[in-house]
Amino acid sequence: MAATDTTPLIERRSIDYIPEAERHGRLLSQFTLWMGANLQITAIVTGALAVVLGGDVFWSLIGLLVGQLIGGGVMALHAAQGPKLGLPQMISSRVQFGVYGAAIPIVLVCLMYLGFTATGTVLSGQALGQLFGVSDSIGILIFASVIVLVTVLGYRVIHFIGRVASVIGVIAFVYLFSRLMSQTDIGALLQIRHFSWSSFLLAVSLAASWQIAFGPYVADYSRYLPSSTSSVKTFLAAGAGSVIGAQVAMVLGVFAAAMSNGQFAGHEVAYIVGLSGTGATAALLYFSIAFGKVTISTLNSYGSFMCIATIISGFRGRLDVTRLQRLVFVLVIVGTATLIALLGQHSFLGAFKSFILFLLAFFTPWSAINLVDYYCITRERYDVPALADPNGRYGRWNLLGISVYVFGVLVQLPFISTKFYTGPLVSALGDVDISWIIGLVLPAALYYLCAKKWHGTVPDHLILPKEQGAIPRTNGLTAQA
């Protein structure tokens, strides 16, 4: 823990293994980071969708909670890998897909990060526009500038922002709930119960997709913890912070949408702040909304940078990234997300719902394969140096992992329901997207059965790089930043 005092403010590492001497942090930081990342306006909007799209309050709340627990469990299982491996999440996918093959899911993950950053920037731009009396577009540009700064600073600053955001978020949400309770009859809303499987499953899917989408980068923010950190405690700290934060935010969204009389869609930020009145209180809430988005938007941008570095290093075998190059990477990533936000800000709500459901078709199979391999096949016994060697234990392309992944994507197609694509079985299920359930269960079962029979050699124990000094350069995973 004492290492925190000597850890530089600007992160020196990127995708390379974190030596034990540089490990630092506490489990509480996992809880506060994911609490802060979820106590924010996009989670409120996600919860509101359950009502906006036809659900009642009572069953929407139950459905959202079920989805949080399922998706949060998946997310937290990924978080527990960080301290043991000391690596970013996606680089460990080379075990299942090969050193080159891992680029397939990583590219799709990058697209997800861009989408989430763009949609979060839209809402933050609305808040900053109201706060400073400028247009939403100017607000989007201001917010993007802040994200670039925090992303370049890296891991330690991100965790600090997460702690501050969790405190501000708790204060803001307690106040908003108190105002909401004073303005509406919550008991009357809860008494309106019209259960339908389509609306209930939609609520479950919204929450589960929200949580599962953290899976590709959650270990990035636990990898600096000491390797002796309990996997169970890491699971509970990250999972509890994410589930509690998201459920609180989505509950607020459900009640806000139920009492809005159709005024919520298109004016999400203004409506939420309007619950508190005007003046200084409203200004503080606009600030809290924008600050709350800093954490999650930074996680998305940082994750994008890590993914790009992972893809390049996979084909080059080694990657040294200077701080200037890191800045350029981040500027390109955030700049692209900002452009998407500026172009799509006026059709946010519908596009966002379609986006978060469609992206699951590409994530859930990866998540299923990674978790089954780590916990059931290799059982944490990774050869970390081999992750950088195309000619090593994991090879260039792992046809088993890639084939199961492709199967996992294709098997979901009949069940996907979005504006981009609607599968032939959706209407029979009440127009509900259950593709994420299919994408978790079937690839997990298939990969387990196949890997038990045809999996490559598994080391007898976890093999880590030799730690030679503070910044080792002999392990093939170095990406100093």
What region, left, alpha or beta, does residue 405 occupy, with left being phi > 0 and alpha being psi -120 to 50 degrees? Answer: alpha
Per-residue pLDDT in tens (0 to 9) along the chain, 481 residues: 444 445 555 566 667 788 888 887 889 889 988 988 888 877 888 888 888 888 888 999 999 999 999 999 999 999 999 999 988 888 888 999 999 998 888 888 887 777 778 877 887 888 788 788 888 889 889 888 888 888 777 767 777 887 888 888 888 888 888 888 777 777 888 887 888 888 898 899 889 988 998 888 888 889 889 989 999 999 999 999 999 999 999 998 898 888 877 666 656 677 777 776 667 777 877 787 777 778 778 877 777 777 787 787 777 766 566 677 777 878 888 888 888 888 776 665 456 656 656 776 888 899 999 999 999 999 889 998 888 888 888 989 999 999 999 999 999 999 887 777 788 888 887 777 788 899 999 999 999 999 988 877 788 888 888 754 433 333 334 333 3
- The DSSP output letter for 219 is G
Which domains are delineated in the chain? Answer: 13-356 (1.10.4160.10)
Question: 3-class DSSP state for residue 423?
Answer: coil
Helix runs in 259-279, H state only: 268-274
> What string of DSSP letters covers 279-322?
THHHHHHHHHHHHHHHHHHHHHHHHHHHHHHHHHHHHHS-----
Please name the residue ranges forming H helices in 428-472: 435-454
For residue 131, how many C-alpha atoms fall within 13 Å in the half-sphere facing its CB? 22
Round to whole Å and give the CA distance between 305 and 309.
Answer: 6
Is the separation of the CB atoms in 451 and 378 below 8 Å? no
Nearest Cα residue to 217 out of 392, 88, 84, 315: 88
Contact 239, 72 (CB under 8 A): yes
Q: Which residues contact 461 (CB under 8 A, 6 or more apart)?
A: 381
Q: How many angstroms separate the CA atoms of 431 and 425, rounded?
A: 9
As a whole number of angstroms, the distance between CA 392 and CA 95 comes to 11
Task: Name the pTM for this structure.
Answer: 0.82
